Structure 1
């Protein structure tokens, strides 16, 4: 019985020692096993791990993606228009041993320290990248290239902390309150200048169109006048040919017809006076058979 009394506590002690040597790593965590402050084991895969009780200490770190909201900061692009930038980043602990050396702590304290140091890195890179472009590029909807430059610039420095920067996003980009009125005035001036440029180009195009239209009208009128003169000449030639043919067939009738045309043109209604001698040949067809001119 005395032997049973001694064995039972020993069994309990062995069971307790065995249980204390086992630790479990969750799928959301990574773990370091420290022996007197020195890393002796890194457990990155989920499952059961073993340690030496009393001598070894297990420290767990979050293996999930961690978000960090940076405080709003003022940046000055290369066109000297100040902007207020509000951004956030996402990162992950990629090297727990390096992370332990950089922070010297575990748990929430290590995360808070990493957040502070990473935020300073990101703030410096944000000022560096956004200071090299214009405010128009920053305020545009397509800022993917700028965010990639900030992230890529922070990756190497974040690696010294055992961190991997996954993404950087600009949430808001605003103008300082005191600069809004001046900025709006400048934007209005720029829009007015662009509108005046458009109107000037429109006036220039209108002048070109009017000049082209005037030239086309002149060309059309000249061509029409030329064709009219040609037609008129051809008509005169045909008329003369007809007259000549008529004259050849009946000279007396032709002279009579021409005299009637002359009378029609000379003797108009109204106060028409002719000062001619009575025996002028103009009156040949106006005389009576007795030789006297017909009274009008």
Structure 2
């Protein structure tokens, strides 16, 4: 009975010692076994590990790819045009022993602080060697790769591998945006004014051409109308002459009737003449002037329409 009472505490102590000597490494982690601050074991594969209880300790680190966004910074490209730039880096721990020796107990936080300084220096160095139009262009892959390569070289001593660096923003400083926008607006307004002036000039040329064409067409139409009118008058006069030659009395009679019709219409002005005027020859007698020996040949009154 006494032996059982003594064995039970021993078994409990041994069990606790065995349990405290075991540790589990997840597939997302890497682990170091330290003894008085010195690395005694590296565990990079997932599974069960062993350590000496009370003497050794286990420190675990994230084995996944981590991200680090940088703070916005002002850089001065080759053409002395200031820009505000920030970036995003992806990195991972490549050598646990070097990482531990470089950052100590600070772990990932200390590593990111030092990596942030390395990235800032690489960004300033690379972007300061090129003009701003290359930085502001859409094709910045070469610049980002150059920043990554320089940061990778510097961070190698930390046991860190920089996988990728991306520039997330490249803008002008806030105090320069208003002036830049005003300059861009003035430039666009100048271009618009030039286009309006060129359009007005082209419209004026088209309008002048159209006016000249109207004048030419109107003149030609008037000329053709005058020619047609002259030909018609000549044909009319020819018809009148032919009719007069065939029967002068009948021609005089018809012309007198036409004169009566035009002069005796309502609304015409009054006509004052002698009663024995030749105008009334065909109104005074049923006989034509040719049937009377003393009747003179009437002179028809011609009225222009």
Deviations 1:186-216 (A, max 9, x none): 4454344334323322332222322332233
Q: Partners of 1:78 and 1:239 in 2: how far apart?
A: 94
Closer, same or farther in 2 for the Cα pair 1:80/1:195, shift >3 Å?
farther
TM, length-normalised to structure 1: 0.61
- TM alignment of 1:197-236, pairs within 5 A: 197-236=194-233
When residues 50 and 39 of structure 1 are mapped into structure 2, their CA distance, relative to the original with a 3 A threshold, is closer
The higher radius of gyration belongs to 2
Corresponding residue for residue 42 of structure 1: 44
Equivalent residue for 1:59? 59
Question: For 1:7-45, what per-residue CA distance to the aligned partner results, in whole angstroms no more than 9, with x for missing partners?
Answer: 556534542343233223457x411334752664303x5
- String of CA shifts for 1:61-112, please: whole Å, max 9, x gaps: 2356655443332233566432333x2525342xx33365256236644432
Corresponding pairs, count: 255
Match of 1:32 in 2: 31
Partner in structure 2 of residue 81 of structure 1 = 81
Q: 1:8 to 1:204 in 2, by over 3 A?
A: same
Distance 1:2 1:176 in 2: 84
Q: Is the 8 A contact 2:83 2:173 kept in 1?
A: yes
Query: Alignment partner of 1:105: what SS?
Result: helix
Relative distance call for 1:236 and 1:34 in structure 2 (3 A) is farther
For 1:241-280, what aligned pairs fall within 5 Å after superposition? Answer: 241-251=238-248
The answer to whether structure 1 residue 21 and structure 2 residue 21 are counterparts is: yes
Residue in structure 2 matched with residue 263 of structure 1 by the alignment: none
The residue number in structure 2 matching 1:281 is none
Q: Indicate the RMSD between aligned Cα atoms, in angstroms.
A: 4.7
- Secondary structure class of the residue paired with 1:213: helix
CA 13–221 in structure 1, closer or farther in 2 if over 3 Å, else same = same
Is the contact made by 2:21 and 2:51 (CA closer than 8 Å) also made in structure 1? yes
- Confirm or deny: 8 A CA contact 2:29 2:64 kept in the other structure: no
